[in-house]
Amino acid sequence: MKQSVVTVPILRVTGDRAREQDFVAVEEPLQIRLNGSDLAITMRTPGNDEELAVGFLHSEGIVSSRDAIAGIEAGDNSISITLTAEAAPDVSGQTRHFYLTSSCGVCGKASVDALVAAGCSAPPRNTPRILRAVLQRLPETLRSTQAVFDRTGGLHAAALFNAQGELQLVREDVGRHNAVDKLVGRSVLDGRVPLHDSILMLSGRISFELVQKALLAGIGMVVAVGAPSSLAVETALRFGLTLAGFVRDGRFNIYAGEERIEV
């Protein structure tokens, strides 16, 4: 199994100078292959690679459920996924390839209108519903699970909670979009999508593509310790998704869907 953390020599400068070893998060490329053809390369933290590949394919509208997958084969920094004959897209003329960075995923590749064209539907209006006090506890619960972040300070985390504030699943990665893809991929493999009763909690900011991934997975609430972007807010308002940012220090801002949060 590949390491998610390695040690590197550093010169630590405080009051004095000292040569030490420090932990850093691993970032390596992962080649995603679909039905024998190269599809995407993503920069990620090794671990849960099958989940990452399945989650990415789900966010691209290629895989909708576990039943669509005939086989998954892991190689050295590669994942090959074979779809069933019924689910397999026609890739004979496939010229679209993705390169995903750990900072932004497939930057600028989609829009709110593209979500509508892809048939993305609004999540159920009345679920999940969460109490203010429960919502305020989510960041502390998430932070307590970030084992690799504690050693490196270099990873993003994403987690699924239920409305009672109970942690369902958590993943870490150098890419915030990768962490979400791993969550969604695991949920697809477990047959849990759509995730109508789950809350997505993010350790950083909320970008459009993270709202996009949440909507495609059927998630109705996204909360984060950081700020949302303008397009993230616009998308949440358009699709009726609850969006809360700056969830920390006993406060938060609701940008959309306030009816799901009992304040």
Q: Do 158 and 228 sit in the same domain of this protein?
A: yes
- Identify whether 107 is a catalytic site residue: no
Residue 66 pLDDT > 90: yes
- The count of structural domains within the chain is 2
Q: Do 48 and 91 sit in the same domain of this protein?
A: yes
d(CA 128, CA 146): 25
Residue 116 pLDDT > 90: no
Q: Do 157 and 69 sit in the same domain of this protein?
A: no
Q: Do 248 and 178 sit in the same domain of this protein?
A: yes
Residue 84: CATH number of its domain:
3.10.20.10
**Lowest mean pLDDT: which of 36-45, 86-95, 248-257?**
86-95
Arithmetic mean of pLDDT, 232-236: 91
Q: Do 223 and 257 sit in the same domain of this protein?
A: yes
Domain residue limits at 54:
28-109
Cβ-based burial of 162 (10 A; exposed 0-12, middle 13-18, buried ≥19): middle
**Lowest mean pLDDT: which of 4-18, 213-227, 237-251?**
4-18
Q: Do 50 and 145 sit in the same domain of this protein?
A: no
Q: Do 61 and 185 sit in the same domain of this protein?
A: no
pLDDT single digits (tens) 17-52: 777 887 888 899 999 999 999 999 999 999 999 999
Q: Do 250 and 195 sit in the same domain of this protein?
A: yes
Residue 108 pLDDT > 50: no
Q: Terminal CA-to-CA distance of the chain, rounded, Å?
A: 45
53 within a domain of the structure (yes/no): yes
Higher per-residue pLDDT: 148 or 208: 208
Q: Do 145 and 195 sit in the same domain of this protein?
A: yes
Q: Do 235 and 186 sit in the same domain of this protein?
A: yes
Q: Looking at 78-229, which runs of residues are DSSP E strands? A: 78-83, 98-100, 130-131, 156-161, 167-173, 199-202, 221-224
Among 10, 18, 74, 104, the active-site one is 104
Q: Do 72 and 173 sit in the same domain of this protein?
A: no
Residue 225 pLDDT > 90: yes
d(CA 162, CA 134): 10
Q: Dihedrals φ, ψ of 188, to 5°?
A: -65, -45
Residue 179: CATH number of its domain:
3.40.140.10
